[in-house]
Amino acid sequence: MIRGRRSPIRGVLFFLAGLMIASGVIRVGLGLTEARAVTPPLQNEKVELPQPPQSCPAPPAALIEALNQREARVAVREAALEDRLAALALADEVLTRRIKDLEAAEAKLSATLTKADGAAEGDLTRLTTVYEAMKPKEAAALFETMAPEFAAGFLGRMRPEAAAAVMSGMTPEAAYTVSVLLAGRNALVPRE
């Protein structure tokens, strides 16, 4: 902000404040003139105030009957709404309990699946270690009898040196089939 120069916003605010003050002064001035215009009654003059009615007339019978019918309908609706609210509360309680039961069952199933996956992985690791410990020629004969996909799965898990020794003992056709399966097993994995 440059010194010595007034902000245009500040000028607008002062202008609006001045208008509000002027409006207040005018309203006070008009209010005082109205108050002066009313003349009080003279001391001898009696001022008559309107008298309240002595009694209220009884409402018509049709009105009473209509109000009673309406009150009965409202009471029936109110009871129906209370019943619905009670049913909804009960349904909510049942659903909440079932959701908790399902969550507990899901957690138990997840733990069981994790345990089963761990056990299966442990079995595969032990079996892979057994195949790696075998003589390559004996392991090659065993791998040739397996389904190519099954054999490729084990060869993919083996150390590269052990897998190479086993594949060198296999027939060229079997080794080629397993090589194609090993090379293509991750071909469909998304790249992004």
d(CA 162, CA 134) in angstroms, rounded, equals 9
Distance CA 167, CA 176 (A): 9
Alpha-carbon span 96 to 98, nearest angstrom: 5
Interaxial angle between packed helices 61-133 and 160-168, expressed in degrees from 0 to 180 and rounded to the nearest 10: 60
Helix (H, G, I), strand (E, B) or coil at 137: helix
Which residue in the block uniquely carries the two structure tokens 């009960």? 90
Say what the pLDDT of residue 80 is.
94
Average pLDDT, the chain: 84
Question: For 122, what's the count of Cα atoms within 13 Å in the CB-facing half-sphere?
Answer: 6
More confident residue, 119 or 151: 151
Query: Which pLDDT belongs to residue 42?
Result: 63
Q: What is the mean pLDDT of residues 74-102?
A: 94
User: How confident is the model at residue 11, as a pLDDT?
Assistant: 81
pLDDT at 50 over 80: no
Percent of the chain exceeding pLDDT 90 equals 41
Structure confidence at residue 72 (pLDDT): 94
CA-closest candidate to residue 155, choices 137, 173, 181: 181
Q: Are the C-beta atoms of 41 and 47 separated by less than 8 Å?
A: yes
For residues 96-121, average pLDDT: 89
Domain definitions of the chain by residue range? 61-117, 134-192
So what's the pLDDT on residue 119? 82
Give me 116's structure tokens.
Answer: 């089963």
Is the model's pLDDT at 73 over the cut of 90? Answer: yes
d(CA 188, CA 39): 101
Average pLDDT over residues 68-88: 94
Is the pLDDT assigned to residue 186 strictly greater than 90? Answer: no
Q: What confidence category does residue 1 fall into, taking pLDDT thresholds of 50, 70 and 90?
A: very low
- Residue pLDDT, tens place only, 10-28: 888 888 899 999 888 887 7
Residues near 144 by Cβ (< 8 Å), separated by ≥ 6? 151, 170, 171, 174
